[in-house]
Structure formats: C-alpha cells, structure tokens
Amino acid sequence: MGFREVVRREATMMDSVHAREVRRDILVVVTGVALVLLSLWVPVNGDQQITGSILVLGLVAYSAGLWAMTTESRASHVGLVVLGAMLLLSPLAMNFPRGTTAAATIAVVAGVIIAGVGILGLLARRDQPVAVSREPEHQPA
C-alpha cells in the first residue's frame, strides 16, 4: 500500500468522524430549538421562572450546538456536558412545584441528550489520532 493510499484512507476516516460529530451537534441544535418551542406550551401552572429557564437553556443549547459544530473543539464538548448537567439538575435546583412534571421531564431528557452528545464528542476526541501535516515547507525560489 502506497503513501497516497494511506493518506486517502486517513482522509476518508477523518471525513466520517467529522460527519458523525456534525450529526451529533445537529442533535444539540434540534434539542435547543425543541426546548425553545416547548417552553411556549409546557404546562407549568403559571410559574414563569420554569418557562423562562427552559427558554434560556434552550437558546443556550441552540447556540452551544452551533458553536460545537463550527469549532469541533474539546472546550465545546465540555461546554455541552456542563449545559446538559445544568438541564438535568434544573428541576432539583429550581425546585419545580407539583404539577410541572412535564416540564421537569423535558428538562431531564434534554439534559441527558446534550450531556450524552458532549461525552461522545469528548470520547471521540480522545480516540482521534493527532493529525500531522506531511506537506513540504514552501521555500522561496
């Protein structure tokens, strides 16, 4: 197997890793949009703090998904894990009252999805080989 074949195989592998990462980040963006939309219809018995927190965390999830999609950095995945934990713990931290089970369930499910995407991104980054450029340096003529 020649050098070009090895480079081509590595490029194909990197493209598939990139595609998987973008699909996961799209899931975060969709989850953020769903949180924003659901904040309008979730029954919260008039408790505007719950609606506001789900709305704000949905907007943050949307933005974090776009950030993770464009940067593909380790920091973006750590941010997703932290955001997922915030959503996961929001029913406890905000002491959601009785009758807001739907809102609590939505927050927990969204938190699990977003934290899971962040963890998968961190694991993928850990297993990814360090790319080394094999291009010769340009020397002036």
Helix (H, G, I), strand (E, B) or coil at 130: coil
Look up the pTM and report it.
Answer: 0.75
Residue with tokens 């973006």: 76
Contacts 24+ apart (CB under 8 A), 89-93: 90/53, 90/54, 90/57
Cβ within 8 Å of residue 6, ≥6 positions away: none
The DSSP code sequence of 35-103 is HHHHHHHS--TT-HHHHHHHHHHHHHHHHHHHHHHHH--HHHHHHHHHHHHHHHHHHHHTTPPTT-HHH
- pLDDT surpassing 60 at residue 112: yes
CB environment 77-108: b (16+ within 10 A), e (fewer): bebbbebbebbbebbeebebeeebeebbebbb
Reported as a single tens digit per residue, the pLDDT across 34-92 is: 999 998 888 777 778 888 888 999 999 999 999 888 887 888 889 999 999 999 998 88
Reported as a single tens digit per residue, the pLDDT across 15-47 is: 677 788 888 899 999 999 999 999 888 877 777
What are the residue boundaries of the structural domains of the chain, listed by start? 3-127
